[in-house]
């Protein structure tokens, strides 16, 4: 086994998603994931504490990028404009590998209650990072909380649309995430 090849984290995530979809989350072992990824079990555990954690690979980075984008938005930006800046910043780091992983990841999460719970916790973490960045900009907490939640929904809806769209569309994630945010903004106007 090639223990020191670069890209072990990405290979582990791809292997896990493939196996989760082939045989189910519960039936998939860490040893199988490591073998499919071409690494040892100990390498797996250097990257992840357990197989649930594969779902949130990169969450800290994504949270930081969203918060950085919000923090770097112009001082005159509204809360949702700042969230949009966060979405653009985070989207800029999402490449073809992230796009290819989307449909399989969605299917794996849909088929496992445990992964659905972990995905929900991931959403909470992303929202908390955005809320904190908005509060640091001086946005009142209730407004920051709502804007952050809309940001998470927009990111998730945009990612789902992007990963399922035609591969030759030439677009990155950002236009999809921003379109989802615009849709959500319009939807809030109908709440009354």
CATH label, 58-189, candidates 3.40.1000.10, 1.10.8.60, 1.10.357.10, 3.40.50.720: 1.10.357.10
B/e letters for 100-128, b = 16+ CB within 10 Å, e = fewer, are ebbebbbebbeebeebeebbeebbebbbe
- Give 101's pLDDT tier (boundaries 50, 70, 90): confident
* Residue for token pair 């994931």: 33
* Residue for token pair 């223990």: 3
| Token reading at 7 | 């890209």
> Tell me, what's the pLDDT at 2?
41
pLDDT digits (tens, 9 = 90+) for 106-121: 899 999 998 899 889 9
* Residue for token pair 């945009």: 158
CB 45 within 8 A of CB 109: no
Quote the CA–CA distance of 143 and 130 in Å, as a whole number. Answer: 12
CATH label, 8-54, candidates 3.20.20.60, 1.10.10.60, 3.40.50.1000, 3.40.50.300: 1.10.10.60
Q: Where are the domains of the chain?
A: 8-54, 58-189
* Residue for token pair 């992983």: 101
More reliable by pLDDT, 82 or 170: 82
Q: Distances in Å between the alpha carbon of 178 and those of 99, 139, 161, 183? A: 16, 21, 11, 9
> Tell me, what's the pLDDT at 4?
46
Q: How many Å is the maximal CA-CA distance in the chain?
A: 60
The sign of the CA dihedral 137, 140, 143, 144 is positive
């Amino acid at each position: 086994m090639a223990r020191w090849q670069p890209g072990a984290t990405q290979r582990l995530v791809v292997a896990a998603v493939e196996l989760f979809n082939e045989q189910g989350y519960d039936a998939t072992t860490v040893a199988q994931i490591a073998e499919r990824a071409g690494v040892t079990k100990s390498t797996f555990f250097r990257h992840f504490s357990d197989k649930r954690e594969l779902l949130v690979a990169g969450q800290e980075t994504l949270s930081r990028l969203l918060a950085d984008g919000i923090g770097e938005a112009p001082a005159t930006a509204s809360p949702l404009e700042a969230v949009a800046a966060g979405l653009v910043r985070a989207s800029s780091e999402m490449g073809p590998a992230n796009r290819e992983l989307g449909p399989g990841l969605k299917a794996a999460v849909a088929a496992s209650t445990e992964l659905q719970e972990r995905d929900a916790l991931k959403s909470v973490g992303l929202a908390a990072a955005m809320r904190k960045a908005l509060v640091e900009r001086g946005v009142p907490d209730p407004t920051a909380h709502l804007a952050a939640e809309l940001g998470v929904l927009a990111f998730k809806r945009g990612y789902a649309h992007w990963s399922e769209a035609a591969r030759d569309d030439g677009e990155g994630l950002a236009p999809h995430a921003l379109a989802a945010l615009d849709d959500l903004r319009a939807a809030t106007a109908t709440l009354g």
